[in-house]
Structure 1
Amino acid sequence: MNKGMNKDILFYLPAKLIEGLAGVLMISLYTRILTPQLYDHYILLNGTVLMCYQLIVGWLLHAGYRHINEAQTDSEKTKYISTLLTTWLGLQSIYLAVAGLIYAFVSDYRVWILYSLLWFVFYSGTQLMIAVLAANKKVMLSVSASTATLSVKVLLTWGLSQVVSPWAGIVISHITVDAVLFAVLLARSSFITFWKFSEWDYALFKKFLHYGVPLIGMALAMSVTSMSDRFVIDRFLVGGSAGIYQANYGIAAAAFSMIMIAMMRAVYPNILKHFERDRSSYPSVIWQGLRMYLLLAVPAAVGLVLLSYDISARILDLQYVVGYSVIGWVAAGMLLLGLTEYLIKPLELNKNTKPIFLASVAAASLNLILNLIYVPSGGIIVAAMTTFLSYLVYLLILAVMVKSKYEIIIKWKSVARICLASSAMAIPVLLTKNFITGWLTLIAVVSCAVLVYSAALIVTGELKNELTYLLSKFRRQD
């Protein structure tokens, strides 16, 4: 058991829980102040910004994260930060130039382009800073910023919606919060003192580019996988369908993003450290991280599948609840996507990112084809099913590719115990879900399920090491 990693997990999880709750509150608020048709506009604008971020800046984030340990001395840090942030600034210039051309020649979308310009620039800067701070072990600042960005947006949007139109309140809050937070992170991180344009290093940029270019293709493919269904729904189904779909999709995505990001922020620096010190040890560290992910993600997926209607009815406005089945399918797909994040670590560590690109292209192509064929007649539930199928294909392709070249450690007995405990947890949920009438009864059912799941893990011996560790801690304190 990696004590340092477990300590990081215990730090990140509560913070990400708050962030996840803020994300759910955001969905709940937006579905109450926006009609499904206006929510369509929001998700298409937000989705476009996220897609552009993944394509233009996402590769740089991953490359910077992977190479951060190579900057140890002040001169190396200056070169690293100057190259990273100057490259980011150059990418913003490219985005602004392309958006400016579209603005000049496509008059129908000018207001959306203006929104996306400001939204993108500050959002991309904030996300880059949060990730680099986490990789640089500035944990408190990174976690505080990540948690604050959603929480403040929710509060500011609610306040602004009382005095301006809901749509204007959302746009103003997103742009303002990201702009202020980016400025604060630059100042508090001390990165601004290392950032010198003259220290931009071409050799380091080539390293970033070599590592990150295949990830641009991966980002495009994964954006198609996650976003194509929304555009197809908006194009072929009745107005508001995309909003209903995304509201329910967002609940599952918020829950799993909380788990996936919290776990990876805690696990990846430890994997990277072991890889650089002793390459024979890192597969076991990947397995430890994967096991901790499974302990949280498997019961979360089971719970979201079984309680999808009750969760949708509690969180969303009534007109959105018709799409509740989306939650279960997306939760199952996100569970698979989280597994893949651990599976691809040998490829990322060995700077062999082309297989990730190829697998993501295959999954995205399948998703787009299935959406175009079946969503117009099958509706939003079919879109959720194709998302699940695409993530399954992505996982299977990468499993074959990685297993042929690198060592993978998976302790199947441990996986079986986690699945058995999750199945045991499902029993009280199925027996009591018909009694759910509000938040209190929903919380009671979930609490009962958590107790059963925990008891099953203890009985099967899956938590033996964790319990031994905790008992030793208590004995020392005594």
Structure 2
Amino acid sequence: MSYSLTEIIKHTSIYSFGRLASKAIGFLLIPLYTRFLTPEDYGVVEMLTMFIALSGIVIQGGISAAIFKFYNECKSKIEQDELICTILVFIFSLSLLFCVCTSLLSPTISLIFLKTEDFSFYVVLMVVSFFFSTIANVPETYLMAEKKSKIFTLISLATLVINLGFNIYAVAILNLGIEGILYASVAARVFNNILLFSVFLNKVSFKLKFNKLKQVLSFSIPMIPAELGLFVYAYVDRFFLTHMSDLQSVGIYSLGYKFAFMISMLLVQPFMQIWQQKMYEIKKDEDAAIKFGKMFTYLFAFVLFAALFMSIFIKDTIAIMAAPEFISAWRVVPIIAFSYVFKSMYLFFQMGMFFNSKTSYLSYIALLGALISICMNYLLVPHLKELGAAFAILISTISIAAITLFVSQRLYKIKLEFLELFKIIMLGSFLFFFYINISIEFPFISIMVKLSSIPVIFFLIRVFNVCNCKAFSFSKLIDSRY
């Protein structure tokens, strides 16, 4: 079965916009937060977010990936409805039990993550928001499996508007600080659930068949150690900064990380959501190995140049958007942004494990990545603080990407375009070192100067024929099947 590159780009673009709407609230509120919160307050919010991320792994595991896999294998609409509804009931029950237990233990959790029991009420509010976020994941995944990208985006936009309004009112008008942020989060999550389930219940017949749950869990549970390993590798830096530095360092680092995370939110995650479904279709083609190699080249190029653009403009952007005490956050952004280039490589080459049902390999790789991250943070954070944490995540990401590529190529070999990848790396490196040395005191002028030189980048891309751009045209993208 052939596939259309246009279809993947189309849905990735729409989901990217939808994900931006649903996840960009923290980014859009940076000017508000950095003026009404101290770096220490920002650090508290980040550590609470870290706890919720860990909770999400425990409760959800690889459920989303399992839905994509088994939903496509269902032979009828009835089977699909049974699968989705059974998973929803399971997630709802488990989440409710978890949240009740966690609320009772909130003083202990506050002590572990924030070195004091004073923030236990914040933990309870965060857990309530987490409950609504978790159960919303099932209808969201259903919309993606059904390729209802426009509905997904409209709901995300509506939630964004409500969330912005609640945050501005609670933080800027009522001056509730961190508590206002958490109240706004709960209210926005409830609103989001109302919208999602109004669509979900209208399209899905409520049917249960718990023998399907065994298949789902047998696929997803082996992925939980992998997710935990990835959590440690991605979040342990905040823990080391909290206990080996201070919450101010956590706040500054977290602001920089939030900017760099836009690479993942806008490109990597939306692509992978579509790719997890399309790769099984492409595998059936005779020339699948070539198609996989070409798609990786495009993904690598897009993410690398996105990280480059982020690095070029980040110092000026933070100077404009954030309060002066947060300006040093720009230093960690290029390091973390380029780590997402390797993160995309790691996620892409998991296909070898998925095709051969070797998901346990992902656990070994992720746990090794976590170990490397712990070691690097232990060595670097005491001396370099925020920069040490950034370099630690870059080193650990490169490590797991290289190992995943090595293992995947032995399970399912694809034809990599080494010449194209080399040209992308060389051009990207040249442009990075060229722009990083441009220093203009006034942010707006600096941005205008850099923007005026952007056409030179596209000229160099065409001169060096990166990704075969001379033979690539919009009409070919629309008409051809890759």
- Is TM-score (shorter-chain normalized) higher than 0.5? yes
Query: In structure 2, do the counterparts of structure 1 residues 393 and 370 end up closer, same or farther at CA, with 3 Å as the change threshold?
Result: same
Distance 1:149 1:436 in 2: 38
2:206 alignment counterpart:
195
1:347 is aligned, of 334, 353, 363, to: 353
1:229 alignment counterpart:
237
Query: In structure 2, do the counterparts of structure 1 residues 245 and 428 end up closer, same or farther at CA, with 3 Å as the change threshold?
Result: closer
When structure 1 is superposed on structure 2, of 433-442 and 210-219 the one drifting more is: 433-442
2:133 is aligned, of 92, 116, 123, to: 123
Task: Kindly indicate whether residue 439 of structure 2 is the aligned counterpart of residue 434 of structure 1.
Answer: yes
2:123 alignment counterpart:
113
Aligned residue for 1:54, secondary structure, equals: helix
Query: In structure 2, do the counterparts of structure 1 residues 191 and 101 end up closer, same or farther at CA, with 3 Å as the change threshold?
Result: farther
2:414 is aligned, of 398, 408, 418, to: 408
Aligned residue for 1:324, secondary structure, equals: helix
Normalised by the length of structure 2, the TM-score is 0.88
Distance 1:365 1:418 in 2: 31
Task: Kindly indicate whether residue 341 of structure 2 is the aligned counterpart of residue 321 of structure 1.
Answer: no
1:380 alignment counterpart:
386
Task: Kindly indicate whether residue 190 of structure 2 is the aligned counterpart of residue 185 of structure 1.
Answer: no
Distance 2:305 2:72 in 1: 35
1:452 is aligned, of 437, 456, 459, to: 456
Task: Kindly indicate whether residue 72 of structure 2 is the aligned counterpart of residue 69 of structure 1.
Answer: yes
Distance 1:335 1:326 in 2: 15
Aligned residue for 1:397, secondary structure, equals: helix
Deviation at 1:390, TM superposition (A): 0.8
Aligned pairs for 1:94-173 within 5 A: 94-103=97-106, 108=117, 110-161=120-171, 162-173=173-184
2:114 alignment counterpart:
none
Aligned pairs for 1:206-245 within 5 A: 206-245=214-253
Query: In 2, are the aligned partners of 1:347 and 1:353 still within 8 Å (CA)?
Result: yes
2:47 is aligned, of 33, 44, 51, to: 44
Alignment deviations for residues 426-459 of structure 1 (CA, whole Å, 9 cap, x no partner) = 476357x32362346415514532x223222323
1:269 alignment counterpart:
277
Letter in 2 for 1:398: T
Segments of 5+ residues of structure 2 without an aligned counterpart are: 111-116
Matched-pair identity in %: 18
Segments of 5+ residues of structure 1 without an aligned counterpart are: 474-478
Letter in 2 for 1:127: N
1:255 is aligned, of 263, 267, 280, to: 263
Letter in 2 for 1:93: L
Query: In structure 2, do the counterparts of structure 1 residues 106 and 132 end up closer, same or farther at CA, with 3 Å as the change threshold?
Result: closer
When structure 1 is superposed on structure 2, of 21-30 and 293-302 the one drifting more is: 21-30
Deviation at 1:418, TM superposition (A): 2.5
Alignment deviations for residues 330-366 of structure 1 (CA, whole Å, 9 cap, x no partner) = 1121111111111112212332211111000001012
1:476 alignment counterpart:
none
Distance 1:430 1:36 in 2: 26
When structure 1 is superposed on structure 2, of 315-324 and 13-22 the one drifting more is: 13-22
Q: CA RMSD in A?
A: 2.8
Aligned residue for 1:165, secondary structure, equals: coil
Query: In structure 2, do the counterparts of structure 1 residues 289 and 88 end up closer, same or farther at CA, with 3 Å as the change threshold?
Result: farther
Query: In structure 2, do the counterparts of structure 1 residues 368 and 425 end up closer, same or farther at CA, with 3 Å as the change threshold?
Result: closer
Distance 1:387 1:463 in 2: 32
1:363 alignment counterpart:
369
When structure 1 is superposed on structure 2, of 285-294 and 375-384 the one drifting more is: 285-294
Deviation at 1:129, TM superposition (A): 2.7
Distance 1:443 1:261 in 2: 30
Letter in 1 for 2:464: T
Letter in 2 for 1:286: F
Normalised by the length of structure 1, the TM-score is 0.88
Aligned residue for 2:29, secondary structure, equals: helix
Alignment deviations for residues 79-122 of structure 1 (CA, whole Å, 9 cap, x no partner) = 11122111211221331243144259889354133113211101
